[in-house]
A and B are shown apart, each in its own frame.
Chain A
Amino acid sequence: QVQLQESGPGLVKPSQTLSLTCTVSGGSISSGSYSWNWIRQPAGKGLEWIGRINTSGSTNFNPSLKSRVTISLDTSKNQFSLRLSSVTAADTAVYYCARDLDYGDNWFDSWGQGTLVTVSS
């Protein structure tokens, strides 16, 4: 059973870049036809899909965040990462990493437990 774990700073200043890493254990991040996703949930609101990367390095992003998001893959460390630039208080949320199938069937069968990131000076 694959497990995912988010890590990174819990506090980021406005206008700076939020950086998070997801470490995958129990399986290789480059095996199988999976994509690796970032999803967030602001307090009191619903989940928002941020974007994903597949094992070939191809990415998809939510158009609402696309101009500020970078997602990268480090197969040697079995990790993938999120960078969100020019953050504001509206980016305060619990950030999750999750896995879905690369082609169709884009539901999330494995998740991390989430990490709270607060944007504040």
Chain B
Amino acid sequence: EKVMTQSPVTLSVSLGERATLSCRASQSVSDNVAWYQLKPGQVPRLLIYGASSRATGIPARFSGSGSGTEFTLTISSLQSEDFAVYSCQQYNNWPLTFGGGTKVEIK
């Protein structure tokens, strides 16, 4: 199975600053990567699919890039509601697999 590795595990960022999250695949997954935002007790939210396409209703401050084995989620200017855990997922191969997550916390 394709292993997805996210880094860092925790990212401390100030309000208004830029956050850059990384996701690496153990083998190429083309551009078949999605990103999600997870908050305790809330419905997980799809942010990005196809490595770089924003899902419906997602603010422009969220952007995704990458292909092959290296992927990045960038939040250009962190808002208070953006502090959460972010998870990447590959859907190039079965079984579908996720990264371990990056927690974005307030610095």
Q: Point out residues on A near B: beta carbons under 8 Å.
A: 45-49, 60-64, 96, 98, 100, 104-109, 111-114
Contact = CB atoms under 8 A, between A and B. Distances in A.
- Assign chain B's interface to a size class: 20 to 34
A96 B44 contact: yes
Interface of B: 1, 6, 34, 36, 41-46, 49, 55, 87, 89, 91, 94-101
B44 A49 contact: no
B34 A46 contact: no
Best-buried of A47, A98, A109, A114 by chain B (most CB within 10 Å): A47
Interface of A is mostly: loop
Contacts of B42: 113
Nearest to B46: A109
Contacts of A62: 95
A109 to B, nearest CB: 5
B53 to A, nearest CB: 10
Nearest to B98: A47
